[in-house]
C-alpha cells in the first residue's frame, strides 16, 4: 500500500466521473508508477462507494480475467474481482443500451445466485455448490474507463474489474444436478457459431473460481450474502458488439441466455 488516502480518493473520483461522462482516462499505472494491487482495490472501493452514494446498491460480485483467451487479450494473468451494483443488472430489459457504455465487449459465463451466506477463508468448491440456490447462463458486458483498453492488473482492478452491465438467462439449474465443470457452452453471434468451451476453462471449474473469491474476500472481512449474484468468470473470448447484434450462449443441460444490443457506444 503506497498511495496516500487523498490520492486514492482523487483517482476513485476520476474513474467515477469518467463512468458518469462515458469518457476514458489514461492508464493509472502510467501516471502513478508505484501503484500496487492493494492501492488499486482501495481506488475501486472509492469508485463503487460513489455509485452507492448516488443511489445504487451492491447486489453481488464478479470474478474477472479467469480464462486464457481473456488473459491473453488483456495481457493480465491473474484473476481479479469487482462489485456488482443494482444499475448493472439488465436482465429484465429488452436489450442492452450501448449508449450507456464506452467501449463494451461481451463474454459468456455462468452466474451463481446464493441461498446462504458464505464467508472465507477455508471455502471449497463443494461449499460453494451447497450454498448456491441456482446457476444461470449469463452475459457480462465488460467496459473500461481506461483509454483503448490499455490495462494491466492495477488498471482493471481500480476500475472495478472493468464492470459494465450483465444479463442473466431465464434457465435456472441446480448445481448439484449439473456438472458445471464439464458442461459445454456454445456461443453464437448473429446466428453463427462464435466459440465453444466448457466450465473447466474457468480456473478448472466455475465453482472453484467462486471459492477463490470467497476466500480472497474472506481474508478482507467481506462475506458473500444470501441472494447475491456471483459472476464466475468468462468461458468465452471477448466479443465485440455493436448496434443490432444478438448473442446467445447455451450451456449443455442448463439452457440459454440471449442478449440484444441497440444504440451506439461512446468509443
* pLDDT tens-digit map of 153-165: 899 999 999 999 9
Map residue 231 onto helix, strand or coil: strand
> Any idea which of 106-120, 134-148, 200-214 has the lowest mean pLDDT?
200-214
Rounded CA-CA distance 95/248 in Å is: 13
Q: What mean pLDDT is predicted for residues 199-228?
A: 88
pTM: 0.94
Query: Would you give the distance in Å from CA 40 to the centre of its chain?
Result: 16
pLDDT at 113 over 90: yes
Q: What is the pLDDT of residue 237?
A: 87
Q: What mean pLDDT is predicted for residues 203-219?
A: 89
57-262 to CATH, choices 3.40.50.360, 3.60.10.10, 3.40.1030.10, 3.90.850.10: 3.90.850.10
Q: What is the pLDDT of residue 67?
A: 67
User: What are the extents of the domains in the chain?
Assistant: 57-262
pLDDT at 70 over 80: no
HEC-encoded secondary structure of 177-219: CCCCCCCEEEEEECCEEEEEEEHHHCCCCHHHHHHHHHHHHHC
Round the average pLDDT of the chain to a whole number and report it.
93
Amino acid at each position: 500500500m503506497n498511495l496516500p488516502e487523498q490520492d486514492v480518493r482523487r483517482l476513485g473520483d476520476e474513474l467515477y466521473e469518467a463512468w458518469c461522462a462515458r469518457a476514458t482516462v489514461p492508464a493509472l499505472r502510467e501516471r502513478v508508477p508505484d501503484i500496487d494491487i492493494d492501492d488499486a482495490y482501495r481506488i475501486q472501493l472509492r469508485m463503487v462507494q460513489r455509485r452507492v452514494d448516488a443511489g445504487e446498491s451492491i447486489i453481488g460480485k464478479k470474478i474477472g480475467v479467469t480464462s486464457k483467451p481473456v488473459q491473453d487479450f488483456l495481457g493480465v494473468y491473474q484473476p481479479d474481482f469487482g462489485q456488482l451494483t443494482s444499475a448493472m443488472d439488465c436482465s429484465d430489459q429488452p436489450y442492452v443500451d450501448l449508449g450507456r457504455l464506452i467501449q463494451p465487449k461481451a463474454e459468456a459465463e455462468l452466474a451463481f445466485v446464493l441461498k446462504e451466506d458464505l464467508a472465507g477463508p477455508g471455502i471449497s468448491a463443494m461449499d460453494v455448490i451447497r450454498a448456491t440456490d441456482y446457476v444461470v447462463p449469463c452475459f457480462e458486458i465488460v467496459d473500461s474507463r481506461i483509454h483503448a483498453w490499455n490495462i494491466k492488473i492495477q488498471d482493471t482492478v481500480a476500475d472495478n474489474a472493468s464492470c459494465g452491465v450483465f444479463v442473466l438467462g431465464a434457465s435456472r439449474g441446480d448445481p448439484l444436478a449439473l456438472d458445471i465443470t464439464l458442461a459445454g457452452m456454445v456461443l453464437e453471434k448473429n446466428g453463427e457459431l462464435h466459440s465453444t468451451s466448457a466450465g473447466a476453462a474457468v480456473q478448472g471449474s466455475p465453482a472453484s473460481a467462486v471459492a477463490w473469491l470467497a476466500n480472497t474476500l474472506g481474508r478482507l472481512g467481506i462475506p458473500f450474502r444470501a441472494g447475491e449474484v456471483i459472476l464466475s468468470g468468462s468461458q468465452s473470448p471477448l466479443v465485440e458488439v455493436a448496434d443490432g447484434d444478438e448473442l446467445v450462449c447455451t450451456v449443455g443441460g442448463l439452457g440459454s441466455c440471449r442478449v440484444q444490443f441497440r444504440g451506439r457506444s461512446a468509443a
